[in-house]
Structure 1
Amino acid sequence: MVTTVTAIGDVVVAALEDAGYMQSTIGQVRKSIKWLGVLAKKQDGFYTSKLGAEFASMTTSPRTGRYSAQRHTDYGRLVWLFDSYVLTGTVDLSMRPRGRQKEKPSSPEFSKLLVSWSQDMEQRGLARSTQDCFGGLACEYLIFLEACGISSWDDADGSSVLAFLESLRSRWADSSMWSAVASFRPFLKFTSRTDLLDALALVRARRHHEIVALLDSGVEGEVVDACRQGLVSSQDAAIALLALSTGLRACDIRGLRLADIDWRGGTIGIVQQKTGNPLTLPLPPLILAKLGHYVLDERPVSAEEEVFLRLKAPHVALADHAAIYVVVNKVFHASGVADVKVGTRALRYNAASKLLQAGTALPTISAILGHAHSDSTNVYLSADTERLRSCVLPLPEGAV
C-alpha cells in the first residue's frame, strides 16, 4: 500500500471527485495536502499516524498567531481521510460529528449506570432526540457528582440534585429550567431513588407558555407565491410549505422518507419521532408538485431513504433540525419577508391557530398536529385573540 503523502493525497482527491464533491472543496483539500507534504519532508515524504496527529494539532495561524477554526476543521478532516485509508485501504467519506466529544464519567459504577439507562430508553423506543436529551442530563449529573468527590451512586443525596440544577442556571435560561427538570426526572425514576425525586420537586421551575405571534395573511401569501414562482429550489419550497401548511415538527420533516409519500393518494404517512404515534396528512397540490420536482430533478443520486438530502457531497440526510430552520428562513427571505425570522415551532403554532380561527374542533387539530394528548393543543388557545377577548368580563360602571 502507498504510504507517501503525495500518493495517499492522489487517492483521497480521486475519492472526493468520484463522490461528486464541489471543486472548491477539493481545491481546499489539495491545499491542505500541500502543507502536509511540507511537514512530511522531515521523514522523506512518508505519512504516519504520528505525523497526522502533529499536523492536526497545527491550529494556530502563522499569519495572525491565533487559533484558526478553519485550519482545525480542514487539517483534522484531512488526517481523518488519510488515517482511514492507511487503516482500511479505503477513504472514509462519512460525515463526522462536529465539536468535541462529550465527556463521560470515569467511575465504573457511574459508567455502568449510564449504559443501563441508555439501554432502557432504547428498549422503550424513545425517540433519538429524547434519548440524547435525557441521557445528556444524566451524564452531566454523574460528572457533577464526581467533581464533588462522589463516585458511588449510594452516596448521592438530595442536596447534590439541587446543587446540580443550580449549576445549570449559568448556562440555561430561567424559562428553560422547567425543561431541564422534566428531562432529568425520568433518570431518577429509573434509579428508583425517591429521595432524589423528592429533592427535585423542591426546584422552583415553572413552565413558560409565551404567546407566539401569528403570521400576517399577507406574509403567508408572499411565501407561497415565492415557492410557486420558483424563486427558491423545489427542495426548499417543499420544506417550507410542509412546515407552513401542516405544522410538522422539524425532526419529522428531516426524517421524512421516500416510502412515506403516497404519490397517488397525495398523502404522507409517518411515525412521529417525538410521540411514536402514526400520523397521516394530506398534501396540497403545490407541495406534492414541489416534492415531485425535487425527487425527479434535484435530489442527488443516493441510496439514502430520507427525502431531503445534502446537495453537497456527501449526499446524506440533513444533519439536524437546525438545517430545517435555515431553509425556512431562506425561503422567507427570498419571498421578501426579511424582517421575520421563524422556525418550525412558530409555524406549528401558526398552523394550529389558523385551524382554530376557522372553527376546527380541538380534537381535530390535535389529530392533525399529531399530539400524544389532546390537552397539549390547549396552549394554542393563547394565540386566538378574538376568542380571548370574548372571555373578558366588562368592568363595573364607574370603575377606573
Structure 2
Amino acid sequence: MTKTDREVITELEAVLTSQEYNPVVVRNYCAYARGFLDHLAQQNIPIADVTEAQVEQHLCDAVALFQRRHGRLPGPRWHQIPCAGIHALLRLVQGRWPPTPKASCAADALRFAICDEYEAWLLDERGLARPSIDTLLWEARHFLAWQLERCGAEGPMDLSVEDIDRYMDLRALKLTRSSLKSVAERLRSLLRHLHRAGHIATDLSPHIIAPLLYAYEGVPSILERGEIAAVLESARADKTPAGLRDHAILQLLATYGLRSGEVRNLRIEDIDWRGESIRIRHSKTGACSFLPLMAPAGEAVLAYLRSGRPVTEAREIFMRTRAPYRKLEKLYSLVRRRLRHAGIKPPGKCGPHIFRHARAVEMLRASVPQKIIGDLLGHRSTASTAVYLKLATEDLRAIALDVPGAELLT
C-alpha cells in the first residue's frame, strides 16, 4: 500500500530524530520536504521516479520564490537546508540518493558494464583497497565518457595512440607533473584491463608517456617542535566538543605520526586503558601495530570521550559534531584550520601529513634507527622511510664535509 504524504513526513521526522538531529533542524527539513511533496503532487510525479534534474529545478524555483517575496536573492548558503531536507526525504523513500545512474543510451550501458567488470577485477584479482579502487574507477569513468561521447558505443574498440595522447593533453591543462603522472598510471591500469577483457585488440598501456619524476625531488612541509606546541596549545584552549576532538586528533598525529585514515578509523576498542596501549591499523599495509599509550595523547582522547563525543552507537572514536553522527571523512580542513588559528603558515602543504614528517625527523635527530622509524610509521620497507632523511637538512648540514680547495675560492 502506498504511503500518504503525511505518513512519509511522519516517518522522516522519526528517522531524523533517531539520528540525533536538533529539533529545529528536524522541523526545517520536514517543512521543505513537505513543500517538495506538494510540488510533486502538482506535477503528478511519483516520488519514486524523481531525478536529480527535477530536484535542481525545484530548488531554482524556490530561489525565485524567495526573491519575489523578499525583493532580494537569498544568501549563498540558503539552499543548503532545503536541499538537505529534500535529499533526506529521497533517501528515505528511494533507499539511496543520489540515485544509481541509469543507462540512457548504448554508450552509457557499455560504460557502466566496463566499469562494473573493472571494479570486480580490481577488487577480486588485484585485491586493492577501497580508496585505491575508487580513484581508479573515477579515472575510468572520466576517460570512457570522453571516448564514448566522441566515438559512440564502438569507441573503446577503435581506441588509438592518438586518442590516448589527446586525452592526456586534455588532462594536463590544470595538473602538476606529479598529478599528471598519477593520471598516466591510472590510465595504464584501465588500458591493461580493456585489453585483457577483449574490449581493445592491442595493449596500449606502454604508449602512455608520463612526466619523469626524480626520487625525493620535492621537500615536503615540516613543523618544528615550537610550532607543534603552539598548535596543540591553541586547540587545547578550545573547550567546545569540536575543540576537544581536534586537540585529541592533533595529539595523536604529533605523538605517533599517524596517517589520516589511521586516526579516522581508530575505534574505541583499539585503546587498552588498563594496559596503556593503543592498536593502530595501518591503512596502507593492513598490518596492526601495538604502541604504548602516551599520557598527553591518552588524556586528550579521554577528555573528548567524556565531554565532547556525541552519543552514538558508532565504534569509531572521532565523529562529526553535527548530525547525522558518523566518523570523519577527512582531516585536511581540520588541520589547516587549527594551523591558521595558531598563526602557523607552513611553506607547502598543510595537511595532517606534516605531523608525520615532523615525527620522523624528530626521531632521526634522536638517532633512532631507520628500521624502527619505519616500523612505527607502518612502512613496508626502509625505502619508504628514506624520504624523511631529506627533511633533516640542518642535521645534514652539520655533518657536511668541506669542499676541497674551497679556501682558494675565497
What is the TM-score normalised by the length of structure 2? 0.79
Out of 329, 351, 355, the residue aligned to residue 343 of structure 1 is 351
Partner of residue 388, structure 2? 380
Classify 1:67/1:115 alpha carbon distance in 2 versus 1 (closer, same or farther; 3 Å).
Answer: farther
Partner of residue 139, structure 1? 141
The whole-number CA distance in structure 2 between the counterparts of 1:156 and 1:391 is: 54
Return the offset for 1:370.
Answer: 0.8
Classify 1:86/1:276 alpha carbon distance in 2 versus 1 (closer, same or farther; 3 Å).
Answer: closer
The whole-number CA distance in structure 1 between the counterparts of 2:148 and 2:33 is: 42
Please tell me whether the aligned partners of residues 5 and 47 of structure 1 are also in contact (alpha carbons under 8 angstroms): no
Summarize deviations over 1:80-108 as a string: whole Å, max 9, x none. Answer: 44345556xxxx7x8x679x979999365
The whole-number CA distance in structure 1 between the counterparts of 2:228 and 2:352 is: 14
Please tell me whether the aligned partners of residues 308 and 317 of structure 1 are also in contact (alpha carbons under 8 angstroms): yes
Out of 352, 359, 366, the residue aligned to residue 360 of structure 2 is 352
The whole-number CA distance in structure 1 between the counterparts of 2:184 and 2:395 is: 33
Summarize deviations over 1:182-237 as a string: whole Å, max 9, x none. Answer: 3333334444587423212x333425742234323222222334455665633211
Q: Which runs of 5+ in 2 are unaligned?
A: none
The whole-number CA distance in structure 1 between the counterparts of 2:306 and 2:102 is: 40
Out of 204, 219, 222, the residue aligned to residue 211 of structure 1 is 219
Classify 1:257/1:197 alpha carbon distance in 2 versus 1 (closer, same or farther; 3 Å).
Answer: same
Q: Which runs of 5+ in 1 are unaligned?
A: none
Out of 77, 85, 92, the residue aligned to residue 78 of structure 1 is 85
Please tell me whether the aligned partners of residues 55 and 75 of structure 1 are also in contact (alpha carbons under 8 angstroms): no
Matched, 1:161 2:164: yes
Partner secondary structure for residue 149 of structure 1: helix
Partner of residue 234, structure 1? 244
Instruction: Report which stretch shifted further, 174-183 or 379-388.
Output: 174-183
The whole-number CA distance in structure 2 between the counterparts of 1:41 and 1:108 is: 32
Classify 1:206/1:263 alpha carbon distance in 2 versus 1 (closer, same or farther; 3 Å).
Answer: same
Matched, 1:20 2:28: no
Instruction: Report which stretch shifted further, 267-276 or 50-59.
Output: 50-59
The whole-number CA distance in structure 2 between the counterparts of 1:348 and 1:398 is: 43
Matched positions, count: 386
Return the offset for 1:308.
Answer: 1.3
Provide the alpha-carbon RMSD of the alignment. Answer: 3.8
Please tell me whether the aligned partners of residues 262 and 283 of structure 2 are also in contact (alpha carbons under 8 angstroms): yes
Partner secondary structure for residue 173 of structure 2: coil
- Counting only pairs closer than 5 Å after superposition, residues 1-400 of structure 1 correspond to structure 2 as 5=5, 8-33=8-33, 35-36=35-36, 39=39, 48-49=46-47, 54=54, 57-60=57-60, 61-62=63-64, 63=67, 70=77, 73-83=80-90, 106=107, 108=109, 110-123=111-124, 124-149=126-151, 151=154, 153-190=156-193, 191-192=195-196, 195-200=203-208, 202-206=209-213, 209-226=217-234, 231=239, 233-318=243-328, 320-321=329-330, 324-333=331-340, 336-337=342-343, 339=345, 342-389=350-397, 390-391=399-400, 393-394=402-403, 396-399=406-409
The whole-number CA distance in structure 2 between the counterparts of 1:234 and 1:369 is: 25
Identity fraction in percent: 23
Classify 1:282/1:178 alpha carbon distance in 2 versus 1 (closer, same or farther; 3 Å).
Answer: farther
Partner secondary structure for residue 397 of structure 1: helix
What is the TM-score normalised by the length of structure 1? 0.80
Return the offset for 1:239.
Answer: 0.8
